[in-house]
Amino acid sequence: MHNYTVYKSCVYELMPCTIIYYRLKYDVATKHFSNNTNVNMISPDFGGTRAIEYMSTGLLNLDPYLNEMIKYFVDRGYKRGESIRGAPYDWRLAGGENSYS
């Protein structure tokens, strides 16, 4: 199985055949959503700031998201993952449907 990094803003630019993998299935009996077969969306670095500072990955990080705000606080003594934390989540789900174990 391969892992791919996907952000909300780029999903809609992908080919329509790829988007079907990101749809959720709804179970009427349990009233819960689930991923499609062989799809597992995870929110990396929960509690840290790496996943929310930039909307892209790699060496260049050309897409700053919350980086400037986090840098502001770090410059004033806050520590990433200790006194300033991020809470990335699966944007396809409502707040109560997200779970972290």
Q: What is residue 85's predicted lDDT score, i.e. its pLDDT?
A: 92
Percent of the chain with pLDDT over 90: 19
Higher pLDDT, 9 or 77: 77
Confidence band of 95 (pLDDT split at 50, 70, 90): low
Written as one letter, the residue type at 70 is: I
Q: Is 39 left (phi over 0), alpha (psi -120 to 50) or beta?
A: beta
Taking 80 as the threshold, does the pLDDT of residue 101 lie above it? no
Q: Virtual CA dihedral for 52, 45, 49, 5, nearest 10 degrees?
A: -30
CA distance 4 to 71: 27
Taking 80 as the threshold, does the pLDDT of residue 73 lie above it? yes
